[in-house]
Amino acid sequence: MKWHQAIVDYKHYLQIERGLSKNSIENYSYDIKKLIHYLEKNSISASPITIDNEIVKEFIYAISKSINTRSQARLISGLRNFFDYLIFENYRKTNPLDLIESPRIGRKLPDTLSVNDIDHLINAIDLSYQYNGVNLGERNRAIIETLYSCGLRVSELIELKISDLFFDEGFIKVTGKGDKQRFVPIGLNTQKYITIWKDIRSHIKVDVSSKDTLFLNYKGKKLTRAMIFTIIKKLVEKSGLNKNVSPHTFRHSFATHLLENGADLRAIQMMLGHESITTTEIYMHLDRSHLSDVLNKFHPRK
């Protein structure tokens, strides 16, 4: 079995058997391609079937000099999954990652913005900004409001459809990881900004492949993940906010602010679309001050 065929088969497995998203599948594939690049660079002849523990250890040692411990742990996990798949398909008997331990890493706390930070960013948007006759300022405001007000992943935002909007009921339908769908509440202000953008959108010549996609570029096509990052980067620079802000920062801020204001952790889990509540529990580490308030308010022997 050659590496190319192994990757193709593995990607089919991840898509069909495990139901992973396109982005997750590409990340898994990227781990394997790093290993292949190392083998080619060092003229090491080893196939997915013959590669052994010593070669993999040398690869991880070499790459650990250029990546942090968190990336190293993710790489090891990704390769271990790949070779587990080969064992599952009876291509191999053993996993060359079995005796390789992942580096211990602390639990990384998400970056968050304050409510004032978010107001500052939104106020910095030039609502009159147009490109090729399309008002992209109003679009950008609707994007930021939706990211923060609904706690969406960037991939969920760019895939959001007009048919996913249920404003009369106060919800939007979100397609998350593994194509799992959930309904997320949406506030009246965000509905208003989306409605403004929808009116502008109705005057754009929309590409047939994006006819139901909510957020478009000036050409009438679906936005890319990279474009959302660029919009936010430029907005942060313009506002003068001295923080590292990404689309995920708004999602983290959404969850943190809900928790700080007394929202139930289980409800936050459902809105974020987390498979396990332990993933949501990371927000408990951000600010414990509100926990004392909860105790004082609700415990009978406070």
Kindly list the catalytic residues: 153, 177, 248, 251, 274, 283
Q: Fill in the DSSP letter of residue 173.
A: E
CB 47 within 8 Å of CB 7: no
**Alpha-carbon 193 to chain mean position:** 23
List, in order, residues 6 or more apart from 137 with CB less than 8 Å away: 125, 126, 127, 128, 129, 130
- Give the integer Cα–Cα distance in Å for 141 and 122: 7
Closest to 2 measured CA to CA, from 39, 27, 30: 39
Residue 122 burial by Cβ neighbours in a 10 Å radius (0-12, 13-18, 19+): middle
- Give the integer Cα–Cα distance in Å for 251 and 139: 19
What amino acid is encoded at 151 in this protein? G
CB 268 within 8 Å of CB 260: no
